[in-house]
Amino acid sequence: MRKVIVTEFITIDGIAEHEKLPSVTWNNEMQAFKEDELADSGAMLLGRVTYEIFAGHWPAETGDFADRFNALPKYVASTSLKAVDWKPAELLGGPLPEAVAKLKQESGGNIYVHGSLSIARQLLGHGLVDRLRLLAYPGSAGQGKPLFPPDKPLGLELISAVPFSNGVVALEYRPVAKA
């Protein structure tokens, strides 16, 4: 069974809006974190906005990382897109929870949700996320879009926490059922 793994950049107060992240210098530790994700990834699940950002950027990139990233199958959750050009990609049909539950049953590697905050929140709310991989930036936003749905508390089991030299902390969690 495939796992769904949400990967996000967040502030320490859980805000997952890229423009609200404190400024840090991208370093080799962060690159290694992303390389590990790519090595573990069998596909991407993206919302429309993230898909459009990635599709507008990644096909023009070159190098080993870009080649592997571009080659991954992409599942796109969107009610407004009629076609996807960044291949290999397909639009998901039907309600998202049912579509993702079906994807998890198919063969293939783990499915990573990069960004795509609304998708991540829906999947968390439906208990469809197997792992959370977070890069927590050293600062708080105070307000903005949180990663975690405010109406559904979620228990988390810490798998690992690795501080980086630039102040970012790589965190990995497994969601656990509330007792």
Q: For residue range 97-153, list pLDDT tens digits in order.
A: 999 999 999 999 999 999 999 999 999 999 999 999 999 999 999 999 999 877 878
CA trace torsion 75, 51, 175, 167 (10° rounding): 150
Cα separation, 109 vs 2, in Å, equals: 6
Q: Amino acid identity of 31?
A: Q
pLDDT, one tens digit per residue, over 5-49 is 999 999 999 999 988 999 999 999 999 999 999 999 999 999 999
What pLDDT does 171 receive?
98
CA trace torsion 37, 38, 44, 49 (10° rounding): 80
Cα separation, 15 vs 8, in Å, equals: 10
CB atoms within 10 A of CB 6: 28
- Say whether pLDDT at 179 is over 80: no
By CB neighbour count within 10 A (0-12 exposed, 13-18 middle, 19+ buried), where does 114 fall? buried
pLDDT, one tens digit per residue, over 43-80 is 999 999 999 999 999 999 999 999 999 999 999 999 99
For 97, the token pair is 């929870």
- Say whether pLDDT at 4 is over 90: yes
What domains can you pick out in the chain, each with its CATH number?
A: 4-176 (3.40.430.10)
- Say whether pLDDT at 178 is over 70: no
CB 91 within 8 A of CB 103: no
Cα separation, 92 vs 103, in Å, equals: 10
What pLDDT does 165 receive?
97
CB 128 within 8 A of CB 101: yes
Indicate the pTM of the whole model: 0.94
Cα separation, 36 vs 57, in Å, equals: 21
